[in-house]
């Protein structure tokens, strides 16, 4: 009997509309790996950074909705209920509202991520059985302008070209799109095509210099909103230079004369001035397009998401029509779809203004055809609410209930304030989703857990009309169900069961396919079985033996009533809200490379978060200078709709007068300061009803903090870091530091090396007197604070002086722990927390003196080694059975024991002091085991106790430490705590790195950077001992009953070499390095960032195979973890070509979407040489 170790499934990526083919490998443990399907005709084996990490998203169920939840009223919490209870409630509410207010009082808001079968059922249920056209989709936000333009120009919403046309074209006009980041695999094909054929011309139109422009022969960095002016100018140039196809225009189009008259009204020079570009460049575009044999225009949201989006589409499509570059190999207008099944949704009529199978909602015959097919009397004539209209109707009360499926409108819709008001005002909100992290979930009265990608079966259609079959590969978690099953169950609860009972999802597809029969998108020749057996097909596929249709309109017979394409003459004025004195800047929005939509999926992959991990504002240097904004400074962006506060990125990649925000982020820590759609306008295109996302007027201002007086109590690592970091951000606030010790700001961790003489005192000082004077810090040496009056905002110092404060920072550290059952008040008994402790111990002992150290942790061991360096005899008493028992495993502890005994340290385990001998001076110790040890000195190194008396006196909320939030605020918002006294989410961190991280968070927060917050610190321990390399990071033992953990171990006991790595979900979560800690930095970064290892696993973890030192500088390649510094180093070492840099570093060798950035770094580095 053979054991099947791995199964392989074919499927399609669930992100953008490129629709890349995937092979998903499932091992016998349920683990998944993905790779590009080399047989897929569209993606040809390639995947982008998002797609190649999709298995991590599928396997990470930490955020998943697992069972239905319901609240009985708005004031009650969500509670777990059964599926029957949930759907009974939904049906009862919908029936009641429909009976009282009519079917238009309810609606469905669905998604371009839904499978075609799910889309079909939702559309059938709403339009055919509930009796309203109130079903719209988030595709309205990205594709509806293109849909309308295709339909009005070509007769139907039909993309005429295929990806294979890319290799047949010799001129490309990419406008309103950044495919290098947003449609990377299409761009890879275009990139390879141009590399093989350098004469291929690429024209890019974009107000920003994007990564796509790095490949461009010509970049029009136009003024936002002037697209049509530019297209008309190019059209005029083509006409003037006789670069048009007169025969095609005469025989296959209509409207040319009106168009010619319009474009001749403005000279090319005038158009160039309006657009902010060079007239000569327009003539070059005319030349490139006019002489091309194959011309493809590509566009996405930059055109569609506009108040004049349909007109922009017309202006662009007109260029294909007047040159006759359509229906031919390598030619045609190609709209790039943003979602994986936006086209499939349009096929089934998933918009409120459409009918199934591209039928016309306005056509009575079409409506009756659909009604007859579904077995209902009629389909309503009145169009339903579109996306923004639907939420406005909820806000005003015209609509009462909404069912939201697979989308997150609280982040993705414009003007988030309106959306929030709508959801709060709605009588009933159903959210059917996979993630509890979606911002919209909190507004739901009913939450329904849905199955995700790889957990269900169905079909999708990509941008080139290619239909793919998606296999179910794993089971959904908990009680989650496929969306189609949820909708069918609801339909049955509504009393429509006979029409929504299917034995298999393939029956739903067959029903959909049957409805397309005889239409221009006829897929009646397809079935699930055929798709599984034969692969993907491009519609139409009218018969069972049809191979599909790669290219449309090859006969130049268009789908209009006249069979002619329509050249639309449109005004070129932008109707967006113009800049004003109050709001002089134009805000445009868009995506970043490694994130998608609202990040509920890509946001779970830590590797994808490292390229750009937070929202930012791109602003031109001149605009920044005029506002006194520096790089990285917090800025406020505001207009009449709302405000956003993020850090500035000063760059000439945006035009002067234009700013850019990425759109992915919603609420962070329940604050919406990073949510771009706080600012976007309510304007929509009057025909397509698509929002004007790409043009909003704003003002940008530097965040200015009011001057405040800050008192810091404590002068250790946290305080030292705070005053230094704070002054880098703020030079005006008054800062006072109270230090109990006369000598402040030194590194107490290094006291053992100070004792041994290995490190002079000067090396321990973190801030010298002249430095803190330069920082303008008022230092109160030898003075502490005895009480805090929160009401008066004052502190009383130990000299009975009262000081006022605006902000108070507690950094009081900890005190050495002493056993409570022993009399330690005698000479020769020490702890080790201060320089005074170190000086006293060193002076108290002589060569040959015997020192007993209690505690086998870092301090006890380091002190033991230092005292041996001074020729003191040392005995170490450890209460448990191993050294560093919390920081090492048994193997490492055994090796450490050998090391310490070789250094002459006597160690007793599983023992403790019963009492001390001697009267006024220590003479020895008696152990619980009965052993007596004579000694000259005794040092307790058994841990610390946080100094919390002041916090308790002040009435702050405490537990083991002072409880703080993500900004290190205590229960009093004016008081912060950092360092060893701070307790964050039940954890306390007693290491310097944590104290400094906490100080940085406070500095940034107080100075307006609210997106930098504390997430906890990584546990790491480095034993600082001359001649010994030993550290541990993160987890050192696999948790008891822990599932999915793996250990990678290398050991050579004779050489005292030991390396242990603990891996969970393909992430390094812990490591011990003994004998060689050269990988510490790299491992620390991997563990801290929770970076997925992927193909780097063997390279990083295999003994003797260094990983190259880890990511140096800003992460550039998220596929292979390559930083800017790694690339610069490769150039310094002789790499002068892009291919050489990529091969040397691994950058660009994955999905390739980082290549434009790699190229820019290469060129900059070479220029500096």
pLDDT band at 1114 (very low <50, low <70, confident <90, very high): confident
Taking the C-alpha atoms of residue 450 and residue 454, their distance in angstroms, rounded to an integer, is: 12
Cβ–Cβ < 8 Å for 610, 1089: yes
* Mean pLDDT, range 1051-1063, rounded to an integer: 95
Lowest mean pLDDT among 384-388, 821-825, 896-900, 1069-1073: 821-825
3 state SS for 565-596 = EECCCCCCCCCCCCCCCCCCEEEEEECCCCCC
pLDDT band at 1155 (very low <50, low <70, confident <90, very high): confident
pLDDT reported for residue 184: 95
Domain ranges of the chain: 6-59, 69-141+341-504, 145-335, 585-702, 709-816+946-1006, 829-942, 1029-1110, 1111-1169
Share of the chain above pLDDT 70, in %: 98
* Mean pLDDT, range 898-910, rounded to an integer: 98
Which CATH architecture is the domain 1111-1169 placed in? Orthogonal Bundle (1.10)
pLDDT reported for residue 3: 54
Residues 305-356 have pLDDT tens digits of 999 999 999 999 999 999 999 999 999 999 999 899 999 999 999 999 999 9
Please list, residue by residue across 809-844, b when 16 or more beta carbons sit within 10 angstroms of its beta carbon and e when fewer do: bbbbbbebebeeebeeeeebbbbbbbbebbebbbee
Residues 147-177 have pLDDT tens digits of 999 999 999 999 999 999 999 999 999 999 9
Tell me the DSSP string of 808-838: EEE---EEE---TTS---SBTEE--SSHHHH
> How far is the CA of 599 from the CAs of 24, 675, 867, 1115, in angstroms?
22, 12, 54, 19
pLDDT band at 1150 (very low <50, low <70, confident <90, very high): low
Residues 647-667 have pLDDT tens digits of 999 999 999 999 999 999 888
Cβ–Cβ < 8 Å for 923, 932: no
pLDDT reported for residue 601: 87
pTM score, two decimals?
0.91
Which CATH architecture is the domain 6-59 placed in? 2-Layer Sandwich (3.30)
pLDDT band at 1144 (very low <50, low <70, confident <90, very high): confident
pLDDT band at 2 (very low <50, low <70, confident <90, very high): very low
Q: Is the pLDDT of residue 1113 over 90?
A: no
> How far is the CA of 46 from the CAs of 13, 50, 384, 1158, in angstroms?
11, 12, 40, 19
Domain 585-702 has CATH 3.30.530.20: no
pLDDT reported for residue 228: 98
Q: Give the residue with greater pLDDT, 1131 vs 1107.
A: 1131
Would you give the distance in Å from CA 504 to the centre of its chain? 36
* Mean pLDDT, range 566-581, rounded to an integer: 97
pLDDT reported for residue 687: 97
Q: Is the pLDDT of residue 37 over 80?
A: yes
Q: Is the pLDDT of residue 955 over 60?
A: yes
Question: Spelled out in words, what is the top-level CATH class assigned to the domain 709-816+946-1006?
Answer: alpha beta
Domains 709-816+946-1006 and 829-942 share a fold: yes
pLDDT reported for residue 1105: 47
Taking the C-alpha atoms of residue 426 and residue 422, their distance in angstroms, rounded to an integer, is: 6
Label the pairing between strands 466-470 and 537-538: antiparallel
Taking the C-alpha atoms of residue 154 and residue 562, their distance in angstroms, rounded to an integer, is: 11
Domain 69-141+341-504 has CATH 3.40.50.10490: no
Share of the chain above pLDDT 90, in %: 87
Taking the C-alpha atoms of residue 96 and residue 115, their distance in angstroms, rounded to an integer, is: 30
* Mean pLDDT, range 27-56, rounded to an integer: 94
Picking from 331, 175, 321, the residue whose alpha carbon sits closest to that of residue 260 is 321
Cβ–Cβ < 8 Å for 553, 154: yes
- Strand runs (DSSP E) across 714-820, as ranges? 734-739, 777-781, 785-789, 794-797, 802-804, 807-810, 814-816
Taking the C-alpha atoms of residue 597 and residue 141, their distance in angstroms, rounded to an integer, is: 11
Q: Is the pLDDT of residue 496 over 80?
A: yes
pLDDT reported for residue 918: 94
Picking from 384, 418, 232, 245, the residue whose alpha carbon sits closest to that of residue 323 is 245
pLDDT band at 1096 (very low <50, low <70, confident <90, very high): confident
Phi, psi of 966 (to 5 degrees): -65, -15
| 82: number of Cβ within 10 Å | 12
Residues 394-416 have pLDDT tens digits of 999 999 999 999 999 999 999 99
Q: Which residues pair with 635 in a beta bridge?
A: 646, 702
Homologous superfamily (CATH) for 1029-1110:
FAD/NAD-linked reductase, C-terminal dimerisation domain (3.30.390.30)
CATH of domain 829-942: 3.50.50.60
Q: Is the pLDDT of residue 1122 over 90?
A: no
Q: Is the pLDDT of residue 1002 over 80?
A: yes
**What's the CATH number of domain 145-335, 3.40.462.10, 3.40.228.10, 3.40.50.2300, 3.40.50.150?**
3.40.228.10
Residues 823-863 have pLDDT tens digits of 899 999 999 999 999 999 999 999 999 999 999 999 999 99
pLDDT reported for residue 1106: 46
Mean pLDDT rounded to a whole number for the chain: 95
Picking from 1132, 1156, 1157, 1127, the residue whose alpha carbon sits closest to that of residue 1143 is 1127
């Amino acid at each position: 009997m053979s054991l099947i170790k791995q199964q392989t499934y074919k499927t399609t990526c669930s992100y953008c509309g490129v629709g890349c083919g995937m092979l998903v490998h499932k091992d016998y443990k349920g683990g998944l790996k993905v790779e590009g399907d080399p047989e897929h005709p569209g993606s040809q084996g390639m995947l982008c950074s998002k797609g190649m990490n999709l298995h991590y998203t599928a396997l990470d169920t930490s955020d998943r909705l697992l069972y239905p939840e319901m609240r009985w009223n708005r004031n009650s919490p969500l509670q777990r209920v059964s599926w029957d209870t949930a759907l009974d409630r939904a049906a009862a509410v919908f029936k009641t509202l429909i009976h009282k207010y009519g079917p238009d009082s309810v609606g469905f808001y669905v998604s371009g991520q839904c499978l075609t079968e799910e889309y079909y059922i939702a559309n059938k249920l709403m339009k055919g059985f509930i009796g309203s056209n109130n079903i719209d989709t988030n595709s309205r936000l990205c594709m509806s302008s293109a849909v309308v333009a295709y339909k009005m120009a070509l007769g139907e919403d039909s993309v005429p070209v295929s990806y294979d046309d890319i290799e047949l074209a010799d001129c490309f006009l990419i406008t309103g799109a950044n495919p290098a980041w947003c449609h990377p695999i299409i761009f890879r094909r275009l990139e390879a095509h141009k590399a093989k054929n350098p004469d291929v011309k690429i024209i890019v139109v974009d107000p920003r210099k994007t990564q796509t422009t790095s490949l461009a022969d010509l970049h029009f960095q136009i003024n936002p909103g002037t697209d049509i002016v530019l297209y008309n100018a190019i059209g005029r140039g083509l006409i003037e230079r006789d670069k048009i196809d007169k025969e095609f225009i005469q025989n296959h189009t209509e409207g040319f004369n009106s168009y010619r008259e319009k474009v001749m009204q403005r000279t090319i020079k005038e158009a160039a001035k309006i657009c902010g570009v060079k007239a000569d460049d327009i003539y070059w575009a005319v030349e490139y397009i006019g002489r091309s044999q194959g011309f493809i225009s590509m566009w996405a949201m930059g055109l569609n998401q506009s108040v004049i989006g349909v007109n922009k589409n017309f202006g662009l499509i007109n260029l294909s029509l007047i040159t006759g570059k359509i229906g031919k190999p390598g030619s045609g207008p190609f709209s790039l779809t943003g979602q994986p099944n936006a086209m499939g949704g349009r096929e089934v009529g998933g918009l409120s203004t459409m009918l199934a199978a591209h039928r016309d909602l306005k056509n009575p015959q079409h409506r009756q055809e659909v009604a007859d097919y579904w077995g209902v009397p009629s389909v309503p004539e009145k169009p339903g609410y579109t996306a923004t209209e639907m939420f406005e109707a909820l806000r005003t009360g015209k609509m009462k209930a909404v069912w939201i499926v697979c989308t997150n409108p609280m982040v993705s819709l414009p003007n988030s304030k309106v959306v929030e008001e709508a959801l709060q005002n709605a009588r009933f909100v159903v959210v059917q989703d996979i993630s509890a992290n979606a911002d919209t979930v909190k507004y739901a009265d009913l939450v329904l857990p849905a199955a995700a990608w790889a957990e269900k079966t169905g079909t999708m259609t990509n941008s080139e009309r290619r239909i793919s079959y998606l296999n179910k590969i794993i089971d959904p978690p908990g009680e989650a169900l496929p969306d189609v099953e949820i909708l069918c169950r609801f339909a049955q609860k509504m009393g429509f069961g006979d029409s929504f009972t299917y034995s298999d999802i393939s029956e739903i597809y067959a029903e959909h396919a049957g409805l397309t029969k005889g239409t221009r998108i006829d897929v009646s020749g397809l079935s699930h079985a055929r798709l599984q057996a034969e692969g993907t097909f491009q519609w139409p596929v009218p018969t069972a033996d049809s191979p599909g249709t790669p290219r449309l309109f090859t006969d130049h017979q268009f789908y209009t009533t006249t069979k002619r394409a329509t050249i639309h003459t449109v005004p070129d004025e932008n109707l967006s809200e113009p800049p004003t004195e109050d709001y002089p800047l134009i805000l445009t929005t868009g995506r970043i490379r490694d994130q998608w939509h609202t990040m509920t999926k890509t946001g779970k992959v830590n590797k994808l978060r490292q390229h750009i991990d937070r929202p930012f504002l791109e602003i031109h240097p001149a605009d920044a200078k005029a506002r006194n904004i520096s790089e990285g400074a917090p800025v406020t962006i505001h207009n009449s709709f709302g405000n956003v506060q993020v850090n500035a990125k000063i760059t000439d990649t945006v035009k002067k007068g234009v700013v850019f925000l990425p759109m992915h982020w919603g609420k962070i820590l329940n604050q919406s300061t990073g949510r771009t759609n706080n600012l976007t306008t309510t304007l929509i295109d009057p025909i397509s009803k698509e929002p004007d996302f790409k043009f909003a007027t704003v003002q940008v201002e530097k965040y200015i903090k009011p001057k405040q007086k800050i008192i810091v109590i404590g002068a250790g690592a946290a305080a030292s870091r705070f005053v230094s970091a704070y002054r880098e951000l703020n030079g005006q606030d008054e800062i006072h530091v109270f230090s109990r010790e006369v000598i402040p700001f030194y590194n107490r961790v290094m006291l053992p090396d100070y004792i041994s003489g290995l490190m002079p005192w000067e090396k321990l000082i973190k801030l010298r007197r002249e430095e803190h004077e330069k920082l303008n810090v008022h230092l109160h040496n030898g003075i502490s604070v005895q009480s805090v009056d929160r009401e008066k905002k004052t502190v009383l110092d130990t000299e009975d002086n009262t000081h006022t404060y605006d902000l108070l920072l507690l950094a009081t550290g900890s005190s050495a722990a002493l056993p409570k059952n022993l009399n330690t008040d005698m000479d020769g008994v020490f702890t080790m927390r201060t320089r005074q402790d170190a000086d006293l111990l060193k002076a108290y002992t002589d060569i040959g003196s015997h020192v007993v150290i209690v505690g086998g942790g870092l301090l006890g061991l380091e002190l033991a080694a230092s005292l041996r360096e001074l020729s003191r005899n040392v005995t170490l008493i450890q209460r448990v059975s191993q050294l560093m028992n919390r920081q090492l495993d048994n193997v490492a502890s055994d090796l450490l024991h050998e090391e310490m005994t070789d250094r002459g340290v006597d160690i007793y385990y599983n023992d403790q002091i019963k009492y001390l001998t001697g009267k006024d001076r220590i003479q020895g110790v008696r152990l619980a085991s009965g052993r007596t040890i004579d000694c000259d000195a005794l040092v307790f190194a058994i841990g610390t106790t946080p100094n919390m008396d002041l916090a308790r006196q002040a009435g702050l909320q405490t537990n083991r430490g002072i409880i703080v939030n993500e900004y290190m605020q205590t229960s009093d918002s004016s008081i912060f705590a950092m360092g060893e006294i701070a307790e964050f989410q039940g954890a306390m961190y007693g290491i310097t790195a944590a104290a400094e991280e906490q100080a940085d968070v406070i500095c940034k927060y107080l100075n307006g950077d609210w997106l930098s917050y504390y997430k906890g610190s990584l546990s790491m321990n480095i034993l600082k001992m001359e001649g010994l390399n030993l550290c541990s990071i993160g987890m050192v033992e696999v948790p008891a009953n822990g599932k999915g953990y793996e250990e990678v171990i290398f050991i050579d006991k004779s050489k005292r070499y030991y390396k242990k790595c603990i891996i969970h979900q393909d992430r390094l979560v812990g490591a011990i390095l003994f004998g060689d800690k050269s990988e510490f930095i790299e491992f620390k970064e991997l563990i801290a960032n929770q970076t997925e290892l992927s193909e780097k696993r063997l390279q990083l973890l295999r003994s003797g195979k260094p990983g190259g030192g880890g990511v140096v500088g800003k992460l550039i390649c998220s596929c292979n973890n390559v930083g800017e510094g790694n690339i610069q180093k490769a150039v310094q070492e002789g790499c002068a070509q892009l291919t050489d840099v990529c091969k040397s570093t691994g950058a660009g060798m994955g999905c390739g979407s980082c290549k434009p950035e790699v190229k820019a770094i290469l060129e900059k580095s070479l220029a500096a040489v």
